[in-house]
Chains A and B, each alone.
Chain A
Amino acid sequence: MSDQIIRDGDVDTAVIAEYEQSRRDLMRKGLVVGGAVIAATSIPFFLKARNAMAQADDDAAILEAAVGLEQMAVFAYTAAAKSGKLGKASAVATLFAKQEQEHADGLIQALESLGGKAPAKPTKVEDVDGLAEAAGGDATDILEFAVDLETSAVGAYYDAHGKLKAPELLSTGASIMANEAQHLVVLRQALKQNPSPDAFVTGGKG
C-alpha cells in the first residue's frame, strides 16, 4: 500500500505532517483504509486550529487562535450534550462545555487586554468540520470525535508553550492544557481505553 500524501496543503506544517505520519502508522496496523490522497479540506478542523496556533508568532495571535479552538469545543460539546445519544455521558459533555467556556472567557479577557478581538463563534454544525458526521453517528463516534478534539487542543497548547512570552499566560495555558488532558481521561475511560497512556502529554498521535 502506498503512503498517503497531503495535497492542496494550505496547512502543511509539522503538525499536519505528524497527523499524516499517524495515519501511515494506522494504515500499517490495518486500522485505516481509504484513498491515496488526503485533501486539506478533509483535515479535521481541530488540526487546522492547532496549526493556526503553531503558526502564530506573538501572544495575541496565539490567544486568538486558542479562543477559536475553545469556542469550537464549546459548540461541539453543547451539540453533543443535546444529541440525546450520550446517555449518562450527556452530563459530562455539559460540564466540559462549561469548562471550555471558562477557558474561552479567560482567554478573551487576556486577548482584549492586548488589544485583540475574539474571532466569531461557530453558529451551526457545519462550522465545525467533522462534527456533523460525528453527530450523525452513535455515542462512540461522538466520544471519538471529542478525543480528537481534546488531543488537538492539548497539542496546540503544547506548541504554544514554546512561544508564549507573558509568564501569566504560560501559567494559564498550562492549567488549561492540564484540564484538557483530564477531559481526555474521562473520554478514554468511556471508550474503555487506557486513560493515561503517555508519560509526556503532547497531543501527539503516536
Chain B
Amino acid sequence: MTVDDFLRLRDPRSRRDFFRLAGLTTVGGSAAFLAACGGDDEDETTAQSGGNEDTGGGEGDAKILNGALDLENTALAAYTAGAALLKGDALAVGKQFLGHEQEHADGITQAIKDLGGTPNKAKSADEYAQGFPSLKSQKDVINFAIDLENMAVAAYIDAIPKLTSGQLRQTGAAIVSNEAEHVSVLLGALRPSDAARQVPDAFVTGKKA
C-alpha cells in the first residue's frame, strides 16, 4: 500500500475500499472486524434497528472483539515503529498511547477468553510494517497515527451497536473515547496553538467531513 492509498482513507467513502485493499496481512484484522460488525453499508447497519437486548455476550461478540484486538495490535505495531522518529514531548505522548493501546488489547483479550473464544495472535513487526506508509519524519508518524486512530474510532462506532453485552458496549464506548482523545492530542501536536482544530466535530465518527 502506498502513502497515497493511505491518505485516500481521509475520504470516508474509501474506508471500506481500504479494508479490501489492505487485507488481513496489512492491517491485522480490520477487514475481519468490519465483517464481524456486519459491514458498514447503511442497509446492513440498520438491519438491527429493532432493538438491542442485553444477552450477556456470545460467539458474535467474541468475533467482533477479535477484530478489535487486531486493530489494537496494529496500533501497537504502528506506535512501536513510529517511536524511533519521535522526540521530546511527542515521544512521551507516543509511549503513553502505546501503553493505552496495550491496555485495550489486554482487556479485549481477556473479554474474548471470558466469552470462551480464542484471541487472535498478533503478527510480526515486519508483517505490520509492510502495510504501513513510508515514515520519514515525526510529522509522518503523527499523521499516520491520526489516520489509524480515526479508523479505530470509526470501527468502534460501527461495532458498539452490534455487541449484545451491555458491559462490552460500555467498554467499547470507553475505548473509542480514548481513541478520540488520542486524535485530539495528535491534532494538537501538529498545530499547538489552535485548540479549536483539536475538536473539529460535535459528533466524532472517525470519518472526515
Contacts and interface: CB of A to CB of B under 8 A. Distances in A.
Contacts of B97: 196
Contacts of B195: 89, 92, 186, 189-190
A184 B174 contact: no
Interface residues of A, number: 50
B59 interface: no
A196 B187 CA distance: 13
Given A176-B203, A182-B204, A165 B170 contact: no
Interface residues of B, number: 52
B51 interface: yes
Interface stretch (B25-33, B61-69, B124-132, B156-164): B156-164
A130 B53 CA distance: 37
B100 A99 contact: no
Given A170-B161, A178-B180, A181-B178, A165 B52 contact: yes
A16 interface: no
Contacts of B114: none
A202 B198 contact: no
Interface string B72-94: 00000000000000000000000
A188 to B, nearest CB: 9
B182 to A, nearest CB: 6
Interface stretch (B1-9, B13-21, B41-49, B138-146): B41-49
A162 interface: yes
B209 interface: no
A166 B178 contact: no
Interface string A161-190: 111111110111111111111111110011
Nearest to A154: B177
B184 A170 contact: no
B203 A199 contact: no
A177 B173 contact: yes
A92 B156 CA distance: 27
A182 B203 contact: no
Contact of B52 (A170, A184, A190): A170
A95 B199 contact: yes
A198 interface: yes
B49 A95 contact: no
Given A157-B173, A166-B49, A178 B167 contact: no
A98 to B, nearest CB: 8
Nearest to B105: A199
B180 A179 contact: yes
Given A185-B185, A199-B104, A102 B203 contact: yes
Residue of B96, B100, B170 ringed by the most chain A CB atoms within 10 A: B170
A80 to B, nearest CB: 14
B71 interface: no
Contacts of B169: 161-162, 164, 170
B204 A163 contact: no
Interface string A76-102: 000000000000010110011011101
B175 A182 contact: no
A179 B156 CA distance: 14
Question: 9 closest Cβ contacts across the A-B interface?
Answer: A167-B161, A178-B180, A199-B103, A201-B177, A178-B204, A162-B166, A99-B202, A102-B202, A181-B177
25 contacts: A92-B195, A96-B199, A103-B202, A161-B169, A161-B172, A162-B169, A163-B166, A165-B51, A167-B52, A171-B160, A174-B173, A176-B203, A176-B204, A177-B177, A178-B153, A179-B201, A182-B198, A182-B204, A195-B188, A196-B100, A199-B101, A199-B175, A199-B178, A201-B177, A201-B178
